[in-house]
Amino acid sequence: MRVGLTDTPVRRRRWTRRPHPPISRLVPAHPRLQLTVNGRPVAADATGQQSLLDFLRDTCDLTGTKRGCDRGECGACTVLVDGAPTLSCLALAHGCAGQSVQTVEGLGDVQAPHALQEAFAAEDAAQCGFCTPGQLMAAAALLAREADPSETAVRAALSGNLCRCGTHPKIVRAVRRAAQHLREAGTASDHGTTRATTARAPEASRS
């Protein structure tokens, strides 16, 4: 075979097939995953493809985090990963290895509600309540970085959290009410991480 203007013969490269080990030998089916959930260490098996949402709901039995669209559009599955609001339906569980995850269960409970949860109740900011856990976690992240967010800032921070019941005006009021409460209590930056240590314990470490 001759190429271009030269008379130099070009030899085709010969490809040799090299057998590779089965994928199951390279990646264990259920690799061990270690992370912190609501202030408690968790060690459990998780498949490489398992989402953080599935891991929290199915493995940790923390069903407060909701599955809405399951494709990153509704915000119902929002949790905090190292303090950052994260769509757990799009995050791989193993991608959070060694990190700290906070769910709505770690924010507070009936006995010790977080200021946000109290404000949502006071403002009647939940109708069906399906979007509420995600709204609360996104709001918690906002209050952690902004003690006195404007209405515009609240709307921007929660813009990825849809509410099919249309309670957005009440949600915005509730977040600003919680912010005021936290400022008056002098705990504006304590959005829930500290509170998580006293909130209801999540699923303990599994072995």
Residue ranges binding ligand FES (CB under 6 A): 67-70, 72-77, 87, 89, 126-131, 163-165, 167
Q: Of 57 and 176, which has the nearer Cβ to ligand FES?
A: 57
CB of 54 to ligand FES, least distance (A): 11
CB of 74 to ligand FES, least distance (A): 3
Distance from CA of residue 166 to its chain's centroid? 23
Q: Of 32 and 164, which has the nearer Cβ to ligand FES?
A: 164
Q: Of 105 and 188, which has the nearer Cβ to ligand FES?
A: 105
CB of 13 to ligand FES, least distance (A): 47
The answer for residues whose C-beta is within 8 angstroms of residue 179's C-beta and 6 or more apart is 143, 146, 147, 148, 149, 188
CB of 179 to ligand FES, least distance (A): 20
CB of 125 to ligand FES, least distance (A): 8
Q: Of 39 and 102, which has the nearer Cβ to ligand FES?
A: 102
Q: Of 44 and 126, which has the nearer Cβ to ligand FES?
A: 126
